[in-house]
């Protein structure tokens, strides 16, 4: 059995900012002569891939199985760069070769059923697998039932592009086919949803594309909200880079949608206004991924309540839920947050399996957004846990890009955005 000294263990945990209270990995490995515990992770995105990797790193004696239907994961981060023509889809897609090389059992199938009492899952091929601990990182699904005039099949005409892959390609193709002078409408949902700044970065990079190729075109944002993430910074960038091209309509001024006429590509707002466009990007309200609902792990709002210290479900013991599907206190639903949660969850499971005290967790989120290829903005925060507050933001930690920054500063942040993306994808999939 391989052993890590405390210094290496601290280094491993350092990416999520975890404090190593009284967790002694040497004690854990001394106990690892017992038969390996079986841990199954469902979902191979940022949360699940990270959790599987770090479980294996923290205790190579564990039997770790990662279940993901797709052989390659296409990320939502930097998918907006694909829409603008800055990247292609292959550049944001990742396989699981590194996981296999580590000794993780990677199964490309879908989980159709979870029997929490028997501690078994059922795969799409009918095979049943037993677990000691189960981790779900199912991402999001959409609340089509809340959208009048649309259902899941309509996304082939009016794409959401909120899951990286074919939807990204579809929206990109529609933008390329749009005539100069046309209108692009994007409709972001109410909170909470995956990647709060994502729709506004998308607006920015599509504006960059239109400015270069279809300069007479317009963008309208029909927003269900009254404010949005990094709003002053985005609006400052729009005014500077794309004057007169972008119109933001808040929820209380006509941004909330009543229903959608898919056939005529027309959005009807609650205020009675009608908006027609050549291309519409409708991002539906969201909920936890389907398997979380099938397993009965969600609340009435469609998300999974968890012990925010360990991410163990409040509904079923020995099942953990991480990433977008979980209710993680003040943390946003983002790829970086899922990556951080995957490490915390891995440490919690190793501690539970071996009966050791878990380190006191700390969580981080960093998010870069591109307003143009050479204009970046960012937000970052550190989070802690307490019994009375759950996960909360540490006062004075992190912050946002300064509004008064000059062009060189914005260009540097754009460079940092690329480094940030390379770092998180390498950490999760490398």
Q: 104: phi > 0 → left, psi -120 to 50 → alpha, else beta; which?
A: beta
Burial class (CB in 10 A: 0-12, 13-18, 19+), 145: exposed
What is the predicted pLDDT for the residue at 6? Answer: 29
Least confident of 71-80, 237-246, 309-318, 351-360: 351-360
Question: Mean pLDDT score of the chain, rounded to an integer?
Answer: 92
The pTM (predicted TM-score) of the whole model is: 0.92
What is the predicted pLDDT for the residue at 1? Answer: 34
pLDDT digits (tens, 9 = 90+) for 233-257: 999 999 999 999 999 999 999 999 9
DSSP class of residue 339? H
DSSP class of residue 3? -
Pairing of strands 375-386, 362-372: antiparallel
pLDDT digits (tens, 9 = 90+) for 171-205: 999 999 999 999 999 999 999 999 999 999 999 99
The stretch 77-82 carries a mean pLDDT of 98
pLDDT at 3 exceeding the cut of 50: no
pLDDT digits (tens, 9 = 90+) for 109-144: 999 999 999 999 999 999 999 999 999 999 999 999
Question: What is the set of domains in the chain, with CATH numbers?
Answer: 6-141+287-361 (3.50.50.60), 143-285 (3.50.50.60)
Give the number of other Cβ atoms within 10 Å of residue 277's Cβ. 20
Kindly state the tokens that stand for 64.
Answer: 């770790």
pLDDT at 19 exceeding the cut of 90: no
What is the predicted pLDDT for the residue at 359? Answer: 87
What is the predicted pLDDT for the residue at 249? Answer: 98
What is the predicted pLDDT for the residue at 12? Answer: 38
What is the predicted pLDDT for the residue at 22? Answer: 31
Per-residue pLDDT band at 4 (split at 50, 70, 90): very low
Distances (CA, A) of 182 to 77, 134, 201, 214, 217: 27, 49, 20, 8, 5
Distances (CA, A) of 280 to 63, 96, 306, 392, 406: 46, 34, 36, 36, 34
The stretch 368-382 carries a mean pLDDT of 97
What is the predicted pLDDT for the residue at 180? Answer: 98
DSSP class of residue 297? -
What is the predicted pLDDT for the residue at 33? Answer: 43
Above pLDDT 70, what percent of the chain? Answer: 92
Burial class (CB in 10 A: 0-12, 13-18, 19+), 239: exposed
Query: What is the distance between the alpha carbons of residues 281 and 284, in angstroms, rounded to a whole number?
Result: 10
Q: Where are the alpha helices (DSSP H) in 304-385?
A: 335-354
pLDDT at 43 exceeding the cut of 90: yes
pLDDT at 391 exceeding the cut of 80: yes
């Amino acid at each position: 059995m391989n052993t890590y000294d405390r210094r290496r263990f601290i280094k491993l945990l350092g990416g999520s900012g975890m404090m190593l209270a009284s967790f002694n990995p040497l004690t854990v490995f001394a106990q690892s002569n017992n038969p390996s515990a079986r841990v199954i992770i469902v979902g191979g995105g940022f949360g699940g891939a990270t959790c599987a990797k770090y479980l294996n790193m923290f205790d190579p004696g564990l039997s770790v199985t990662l279940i993901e239907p797709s052989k390659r994961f296409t990320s939502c981060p930097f998918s907006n760069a694909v829409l603008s023509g800055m990247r292609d889809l292959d550049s944001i897609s990742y396989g699981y070769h590194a996981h296999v090389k580590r000794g993780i059992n990677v199964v490309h199938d879908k989980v159709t059923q979870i029997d929490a009492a028997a501690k078994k899952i059922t795969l799409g091929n009918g095979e049943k697998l037993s677990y000691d601990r189960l981790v779900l990182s199912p991402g999001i699904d959409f609340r089509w039932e809340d959208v009048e005039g649309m259902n899941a099949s309509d996304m082939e005409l009016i794409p959401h592009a909120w899951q990286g892959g074919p939807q990204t390609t579809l929206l990109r193709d529609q933008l390329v086919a749009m005539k100069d002078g046309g209108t692009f409408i994007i409709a972001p949902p109410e909170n909470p949803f995956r990647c709060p700044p994502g729709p506004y970065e998308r607006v920015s990079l599509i504006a960059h594309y239109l400015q270069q190729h279809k300069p007479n075109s317009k963008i309208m944002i029909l927003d269900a909200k009254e404010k949005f993430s990094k709003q002053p910074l985005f609006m400052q960038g729009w005014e500077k880079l794309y004057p007169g091209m972008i119109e933001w309509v808040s929820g209380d001024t006509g941004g909330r949608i009543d229903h959608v006429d898919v056939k005529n590509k027309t959005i009807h707002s609650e205020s009675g206004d009608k908006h027609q466009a050549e291309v519409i990007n409708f991002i539906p309200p969201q909920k936890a991924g389907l398997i979380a609902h099938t397993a009965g792990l969600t609340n009435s709002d469609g998300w999974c309540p968890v012990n925010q210290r360990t991410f163990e479900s409040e509904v079923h013991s020995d099942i953990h839920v991480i990433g977008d599907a979980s209710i993680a206190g003040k943390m946003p639903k983002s790829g970086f947050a899922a990556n951080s949660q995957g490490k915390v969850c891995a440490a919690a499971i190793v501690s539970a399996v071996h009966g050791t005290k878990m380190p006191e967790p700390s969580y981080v989120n960093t998010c870069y957004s591109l307003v143009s290829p050479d204009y970046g903005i960012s937000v970052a925060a550190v989070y802690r846990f307490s019994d009375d507050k759950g996960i909360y933001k540490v006062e004075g930690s992190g912050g946002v890009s300064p509004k008064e920054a000059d062009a060189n500063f914005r260009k540097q942040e754009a460079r940092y955005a690329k480094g940030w993306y390379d770092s998180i994808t390498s950490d999760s999939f490398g």
